Amino acid sequence: MERLHDACGVVGIYAQENIDVRNSLVLALTALQHRGQESAGIAVYDGEGKIVQRIGMGKVHEVFPDMGAGLPTTYCGIGHVRYSTSGVSCIKNAGPFIVSLKYSPYDPIAVAHNGNLVNGSYLHEQLPQEFLRSTTDSEAIALMLLYADGLTLRERMISIIPQLFGAYSLVILAEGRLYAIRDPWGMRPLCLGRIGENWIVASESCAMDCTGATFVRHVEPGELVTVDEYGMHSERLVQFPRQTLCVFEYIYFCDATSQLNGKYVYSVRESMGRELARQQPVDADLVTPVPDSSVPAARGYAAVSGIPYEQAIIKNRYSDRSFIKPNQLLRRQEVERKFQLISSKIRGKRLVVVDDSIVRGHTMKHLVVELYAQGAKEVHVRSSAPPLRHPCYFGIDIPQEAELIAARRSTQEVADYLGVDSLGYLSLPGLSRALNTAKESSTIDNSAIGFLHSNFCYGCMEKQGWPFKPPDAVKMQQPFVPLIVVMQ
């Protein structure tokens, strides 16, 4: 409801046969619109090998009403939709970023970035300030690639990886090629697909579906993908023992139609709802989701509990995500017109309201007031995510622990604040079982957290869930030995 949000969606396409790359980039960005709604941009190679860019504030259809026709016909390009977690929301921070240095021996490069660097401020301070035009990690990474040692972008990428702490999935135009790289922790998703003989990389597989591409696989953590006239080449530059995909990719960030690690997001969210029903049962007349991302979990809850499922809460199709709004006043205004309630399904009913997570609690509190005003007899809120207690340092927009309603309150205290008859969260072991889908049990087995700890970042729920310590304990350099493994 008052959703978490991460920073951006990215796409890159290299065409070896005749397709309209510009049109396909716009379609892919539209499919990734849920990952960022503040700005959109595309950078492409023109007929002379130069990089040409169009960026704008707003949604994809607003920035590209001509489906990219105003850009040069191209064989290769990248695209970006942005939500600001690093740097303010303004045109100078919109991506992709094109950087070049007057006296650099290297060609200009364009970078689109999804993620957040823990040490981004430190990296900015180390760069010549006269070359910085924005306050984003994306531009810092791009400039580092121009300054780093190495004759090729691949060599320079190997050179800067030890200095990048945090989440980054990158698509890059350089040297007439398309590059893609995912951070060694694998915090943000990045996938690879084909459109005939053409290659596409994108934040999610839903971008493949709308462009007619076939999903091939996910880019591995620490993997560099290079696409040029000779095809696709891949190598694993570095490998860490623990892989830590952000657990909220499954809970909320990803489109329900996308797949991650061989599992469809919709199915995993249903499993979360089933686990939630086992752990947090209640006598009620109706299960209803807070649309839209909570629909699978609510269906799972209804299936296990035996309580009928109905959509008593309808999302206003013309409203935006309230959490995306840059300040509390705009968020409150958005909430007031975000949902429409079906009184006939609410009046006199005991409701189980299933949401994917509870962040600040303001929106849920407002919704609960409206449900009672429509005649609800009881309201029982269930969250298919565990309580959020800590800020995120890797690209989710929770800058202060004090903003999280569950950080310093018990479950009953949160329930009292929301004004509900009861409140229940999915446990960490239950979340782990839903993600693993290896077993289903009504008991809370704490050993189940092992799967979660080995495969995901869940530091916003429990501090041991971080892949490394928060920024005050992070060293800015670490020993680094590239692991060069060819992966086709």
pLDDT digits (tens, 9 = 90+) for 95-108: 799 988 666 666 78
- Provide the pLDDT for residue 439: 46
Continuous H helices in 32-113: 60-63
Domain span including residue 113:
9-244+477-486
**Are 69 and 174 members of one domain?**
yes
- How confident is the prediction for the chain on average, in pLDDT? 87
With respect to residue 469, please indicate whether it lies within any of the assigned structural domains: no
Q: Which of 23-32, 132-141, 261-270 has the lowest mean pLDDT?
A: 132-141
Question: Averaged over 107-115, what is the pLDDT?
Answer: 91
Q: Nearest-CA neighbor of 144 among 164, 173, 174, 130?
A: 164
**Are 164 and 288 members of one domain?**
no
| Catalytic positions | 8
What CATH number is associated with residue 332? 3.40.50.2020
Contact call for residues 115 and 169 (beta carbons, < 8 A): yes
Q: Which of 124-128, 208-212, 260-264, 356-360 has the lowest mean pLDDT?
A: 124-128
Q: Which of 58-62, 129-133, 207-211, 432-436 has the lowest mean pLDDT?
A: 129-133
Number of domains in the chain: 2
Per the model's pLDDT, the better-predicted residue between 421 and 471 turns out to be: 421
**Are 41 and 70 members of one domain?**
yes
What CATH number is associated with residue 136? 3.60.20.10
Does residue 96 have a cis peptide bond before it, meaning omega lies within 30 degrees of 0?
yes
- Provide the pLDDT for residue 87: 47
Q: Nearest-CA neighbor of 171 among 158, 180, 183?
A: 180
- Provide the pLDDT for residue 329: 59
Q: Nearest-CA neighbor of 190 among 239, 254, 137?
A: 254
Q: Nearest-CA neighbor of 247 among 2, 26, 398, 434?
A: 434
